[in-house]
Structure 1
């Protein structure tokens, strides 16, 4: 990449379909299977399976319009780019800030989940393991997204093989009696579990956030989004059923390494350690994907003048937004050190669901304006768009007091940053 490319802040298109799917699946399976299965079981009991099903439906009806927007605007930042282009800079800033914050908070349960499984293997404190993981991800990403994408492919292939092996090996030990009582916390528990499970399907928007680095985006972006959801659903159903059928849901919900506990019952100590190794590798892939998306969001906002311009600096040799990677890595470390997995999930879940509403409004406006048709269009929009809005509102309500309060505080901080940046820009213009 030339020096002029660095000045213009252009990223390199080097991720093919396989790499894009790996980013999406890697950003989904690690936290979802190895960490969120236990949290969902604690809220919904055996009906966690239904929570996952509801979360998949919500993800699918939101993913369809999101795929259309990704084809219209294959740019770094994903949903932020959609909103900025159509609704303007102020809405773009708030969208980007919420999007960025959602993954910063979500990183807490991902990296601490990694630390929990590493602790089961080595005895290393979870927080120390989480910080070491983030530093490793920063080092990998500084070498370029193409290197990170190739590593992601290898890791996800290993993870899927191991998880399917877990499900097959545990099939004989499943006891249907463990699935009763089905819904010990009623409908509210199922809905609360669905919010947690929705995070487990969240990788499809990571693909859109890296849209500026994906080759043939009009073809590969929608394909990568739908392949991500299909792969994740298949793996989730098999693994969650095996876990809930072999371990009491109370135990599963209280465990820091839930799938290791499940493997212990039918594979013994060796099986439990093997699952912990796969969990460590896979949650590492999730953390890597989170770092990719958070750095690209802040890079895109800085390139548009909505955050300090230093965040838009691109390293010429690798095409990497180097400062954005370092800043996002620092925020992830703060979350690992100072947050808990439960609070990170609640606040991150609220912000993550909230960030889908502005893009849906964008698509409604584009459809009403009868703008040019992209390669992929949402089918039956008169049904799917209202359903997508309803799903997001239901999940926001299910996020609870902690999620709403923490998310509101983050948004208020963003509004303050926006006014500070605006005032700084005015002073620079006058000078």
Structure 2
């Protein structure tokens, strides 16, 4: 890596940025263009269709929030899919994520044309394309220069947009005609579900934030909170804006219109109202494109890190702290699409891919849970697991079916191209084992999974939780850990411990053994069922040793309590008394963890036992 580049991205985005990126990615064509098309199919029931579409996005929202808090890394969908299902699924997921997001963002910029013509009817198609290309270049440069400034621009755009929509909603409430809401229900259920599928795509932008999780401050809190808040606010705006628009417009004005909100603005405020809502729509499309460039450009970064793409895509500029090659490549692709392609059908393909990605993400959540990898520790837990994932997979499969044969055929061709790239470029380079292998290992009772994914998740946890090693952590890293396979007596256990540390402490083996036994006679060191912390003081200076032991069958410390399976043995000289107390406190905090006992007994090897302690949530001493 050259001197002008670094490997890691910098955490610069706040909870407000997360909210605005997620919200801004949702509010565009789904609100300003699509309602007229849906109204033509289902009439006033369009209000219910939008609410149902929002409900159907919840399985993807909850699953992505869980996966992102467990693995807040650049690449989002790609990272989750590759780590759970392997390199083939990862290649398809990575390319599909980048392609669909880039295409949708380009479409958002071209979609501005519908509203620019409301402001200036003399503008030509070429001028509109030039404006779209200019905006794409501007946001590409902005993304290269600063993620933080990009986030601030997004905050400005989204808050202006929300303010204009609230003005439209509250003023529109005073001009509603209740007769326009009847008849509300229609009998054609297939039309309703098809409409829900169309609107469902509009919520897809909500989960874009997972692709830039590596650049979010305090991701364990800010990502789920920002995503859920964005969902609630956008649902509120969608539902009320559509409700108001139905009450403002006659059927012939609403059905099939590409600018229903702008027409509604004209009804409320006159011609200036139409212009104001057209400006709101332009802000919405621009914010979608900005969020799209920011999010899409992180997929090549993640894929390059895994050697799925050439290495330069992962380079991060030291001056700007942004993956400039990946951003520029994404921007160039969008400019080519805007300038040369008639991509109306390609957008439908991108929508199909997005739904398929949602299905893969739901599967990834299930696989990561069922793999029982100890270092998979999300701070947000998807509710109603696994039923909400199962419902989501079935529902999304139906939406894919409704996208039509042409879109499905093109998607299959795209998948085949991804498989060819995997065969030509990726095969032989991918080294990580997926979580799916861990499930196979559990079923077959064969040791085939290895520890690569467990170790990688451990590194992610260290970065996520900002774990800075203190003296106790350093002691744990070098200490002896013993895994005793069979039930043993207390005397036999202390004999093993004395053998392990007598030479290192320069103390007689028999003296150590007698000290342990004498300490147990004074009072048992069993802290609670399953846990004991034998600790003794020895002569000398600057002496301190820790030995950790697991015995699944149990060690009989005292007859009145169950056998012990987790033992932390502390031996130190008198001058180390203060650290002795701090070590006892650290062990107590580790053992109080909600999943400590389960993880301790399920750990596959000594290094996993060590990680349980090193990655625990506890107060660490400043060095």
State if a TM-score over 0.5 links the two structures.
yes
Flag the 1:73–1:423 CA change in 2: closer, same or farther, 3 A: closer
Counterpart in 2 of 1:384? Answer: 388
Asked if the contact 1:49/1:241 (under 8 Å) is kept, the reply is yes
Check whether the contact 1:113–1:256 (CA below 8 A) recurs between aligned residues: no
In structure 2, what is the equivalent of residue 393 of structure 1?
A: 397
Match of 1:69 in 2: 67
Give yes or no for contact 1:31–1:286 (8 Å, CA) kept in 2. no
From the CA coordinates, give the structure whose radius of gyration is larger: 2
1:403 alignment partner, one of 404, 407, 412: 407
TM-score (norm 2): 0.64
Is contact 2:41–2:191 with CA below 8 Å preserved after alignment?
A: yes
- Report the CA distance shift for 1:4/1:224 in structure 2 as closer, same or farther (over 3 A): farther
Task: Tell me if structure 2 keeps the 8 A contact 1:174–1:246.
Answer: yes
* Alpha-carbon shift at residue 5 of structure 1 (Å): 8.6
Whether the 8 Å CA contact 2:34–2:258 is kept in 1: the answer is no
Q: Distance in 1 between matches of 2:347 and 2:286?
A: 17
| Aligned equivalent of 1:429 | none
Paired residue for 1:14? Answer: 12
**In structure 1, what is the Cα distance between the partners aligned to 2:253 and 2:410?**
28
Distance in 2 (CA, whole Å) between partners of 1:117 and 1:16 is 31
CA distance in 2, matches of 1:384, 1:220: 23
Give unpaired runs (5+ residues) of structure 1: 427-431
Partner of 1:117: 115
Counterpart among 164, 167, 171 of residue 165 in structure 1: 167
Count of paired positions: 424
Which residue in 2 is equivalent to 1:195?
197
Partner of 1:232: 234
Distance 2:213 2:294 in 1: 12
Preserved contact between residue 133 and residue 335 of structure 2 (Cα < 8 Å): yes
TM-score, normalised via structure 1 length: 0.91
- Equivalent position to 2:313, from 311, 314, 322: 311
What secondary structure sits across from 1:77 in the alignment?
coil
Structure 2 vs 1, CA of residues 213 and 411 (structure 1 numbering), >3 Å: closer, same or farther? same
Change (3 A) 1:37 1:221: same
Match of 1:280 in 2: 282
Matches within 5 A, 1:38-117: 38-117=36-115
The alpha-carbon deviation at position 384 of structure 1 amounts to 1.3
CA deviation vs aligned residue, 1:266-318 (integer Å, no higher than 9, x gap): 22111101111121122111110011111111221122211222322222111
1:263 to 250, 265, 272: 265
Shift of the alpha carbon at 1:181?
Answer: 4.7
When structure 1 is superposed on structure 2, of 186-195 and 262-271 the one drifting more is: 186-195
Inter-CA distance 249–397: structure 2 relative to 1 (3 Å threshold): farther
Structure with more strand by fraction: 2
How well do the aligned residues superpose, as a CA RMSD in angstroms? 2.4
